[in-house]
Amino acid sequence: MTNSPTIDPAQLLVHLGEPGLLVVDTREESVWRQATIPGAASLQVYDYFIPDSGPAGVADMQAAVRAGLNAVGADRATTTVYFEEQTGMISPRGLWFHHYAGLRGGLVLDGGFAAWRAVGGPVAPGQSAPAAIRSGAPSGEGIFNAAVFATIDEVRGHDPARTDILDVRRRSEHDGSFVHPCCARPGRIPGSRFLFWEDLLENGAYRAPEDISARAQAAGLSPERDIIAYCHRGARAATAAYALRLAGFAHVRVFVGSWHEWADRADLPADIR
């Protein structure tokens, strides 16, 4: 359908019902049950967070991702479209899991279900069994896409001459004036550039590529450099990664352990204020 990581509702409406097309609702199951895009599967992608990005944590994530995506048939689909109410921090996370699993044909419905209804897209109650990406799945065998993923060791050992670390959290998280109760300490990864993830969205959809590019370059980012994005626990970083991809930044990875994992390591430095 498109080389972009997104699809607009009018495009999806044209292709709805075609063989090989899978639509995945990443909202809460109760909302999906009430009204969704006809035939959409329900997949909970937000609640899973990697325990740590060491070998055991990565193995757990691989098993969780493989089982969840296979349960809704993403492994058998030609094109899979993930959506939420409006484009936010959930459907891009679903797409990130899709790409991490090495699957092709993944997209985000830009503007989400609200935009779908705005163009007159049909709706129907959600049916079939819901699925979730959750810890403890039995097997994660298969080929995974390391090009979208960064571990804590890769962040710690990155080469500043060619790689930028990007913090997409709120400004108060970046400067350390706010810390999530589950985090061991406030602050940011030393040397992090800052670009607030919500500034890459407008009216529930991604901003225009040229707008995203201008904001990224104002933050000191360059399409020629590697970028590792992080947030609290990896969801907002996925939203930012696909925004940057829309703007022509081809080399963006997500540090899925993000600040939560970094803060828990007392041997690692942190900047504040």
Residues 128 and 17 in one domain: yes
213 and 183 assigned to the same domain: yes
* CATH number of the domain within which 28 lies: 3.40.250.10
State what percent of residues in the chain have pLDDT above 90: 95
Q: Does residue 1 lie in a domain region?
A: no
Residues 29 and 104: beta-carbon distance below 8 Å: no
Report the domain count for the chain.
Answer: 2
Domain that holds residue 241: 146-263
Q: What is the pLDDT of residues 14-66, one digit of tens each?
A: 999 999 999 999 999 999 999 999 999 999 999 999 979 999 999 999 999 99
**Whether residue 11 is found in the same domain as residue 126:** yes
Residue 2 has pLDDT above 70, yes or no: no
Q: Are 231 and 117 contained in the same domain?
A: no
Does 108 lie in the same domain as 176?
no
> pTM (2 decimals)?
0.96
Do 255 and 226 form a contact (C-beta atoms < 8 A)? no
* pLDDT tier, 135 (very low <50, low <70, confident <90, very high otherwise): very high
Confidence (pLDDT) at 1: 41
Q: How many angstroms separate the CA atoms of 157 and 128, rounded?
A: 45
Residues 56 and 116 in one domain: yes
127 is a domain residue? yes
Same domain, 258 and 175: yes
Based on the fold, state whether residues 30 and 89 are members of the same structural domain: yes
User: Which two three-digit tokens encode residue 181?
Assistant: 């109760």
β-strand pairing of 131-132 with 193-194: unpaired
pLDDT at 273 over 90: no
Q: Mean pLDDT over residues 143-166, rounded? A: 96
Mean pLDDT of 131-150: 90
Closest CA to 82 of 113, 103, 61: 113
Residues 223, 158 share a domain: yes
Q: What are phi and psi for residue 114, nearest 5 degrees?
A: -60, -45
Domain membership flag for residue 273: no
Instruction: Determine the pLDDT at residue 120.
Output: 97
| 171 in the same domain as 68 | no
- As a whole number of angstroms, the distance between CA 101 and CA 140 comes to 9
The reply to whether 271 falls in a domain is no
The H or E element spanning position 229 is: strand 226-230
Q: Judge whether 137 lies within some domain.
A: no
Please tell me the distance from the alpha carbon of residue 148 to that of residue 245, in angstroms, as a whole number. 11
